[in-house]
Amino acid sequence: MSENKILLNSVPVDEVKEAIEKIENAVTSRINATPDNADHGLAQLVLTLIELIRKLVEKQAIRRVEGGSLSEEEIERLGETLMKLENKMEELKKIFNLTDEDLNLNLGPLGDLM
């Protein structure tokens, strides 16, 4: 962005640049599958979908806890399940060398997947 387009700025330009670059990196993330790395691309796609479902399950669980409809035992069991799911996802991300940013997709006008 040319400096003459900045009309008001109360934050150091470097900080703004850094913040915008972070977003650009996230926005440009794509499933990058080629004949050479098809396995990795497929793993990224599958793990992205699993992560989406995991987060939906987590949201639903939070809603149920907040709704007050769960007993202490149910909260305990749900906590255990969600914790194991998250740990398993961490393991899989390590195996396929993927980060949280890799498991998000830009859906154009719909915004980010997660």
Partner 1 sequence: MEKIIYAIIANKGNPPQVNEIAQNIRGITGSNLYALNFENISVAVSDIPASKFIVSKELALDFARVIEELSQQSTLLPIRFGTVVKSDEIIIQLITDNYTPFLNNLAKVENKHEFGMKVIWDYDKCSEKIRAKVESEEYTISSFSSKSTIHTNYLLEKVKKHRLEDALLKHVEQLIEEITWHLTQINPEGKFKKMLSKSIILDGVFLIEKTKKDEFIRAIEALKLLHDDLNFLITGPWPPYSFVEIAIDKD
Q: Which residues bind partner 1 (CB under 8 A)?
A: 1, 5-11, 15-16, 19-20, 22-23, 26, 58-59, 61-62, 65-66, 68, 70, 72, 75-80, 82-83
* CB within 8 Å of 103: residues ≥ 6 apart: 44, 47, 48, 51, 93, 114
Which of 22, 46 has the CB closer to partner 1? 22
Q: How far is the CB of 42 from partner 1 (least distance, A)?
A: 26
CB 8 within 8 A of CB 16: no
**Radius of gyration, CA atoms only, the chain:** 19
Q: How far is the CB of 93 from partner 1 (least distance, A)?
A: 19
Which of 23, 31 has the CB closer to partner 1? 23
Which of 46, 79 has the CB closer to partner 1? 79
Tokens 């479902």 label which residue?
53
Separation of CA 56 from chain center: 12
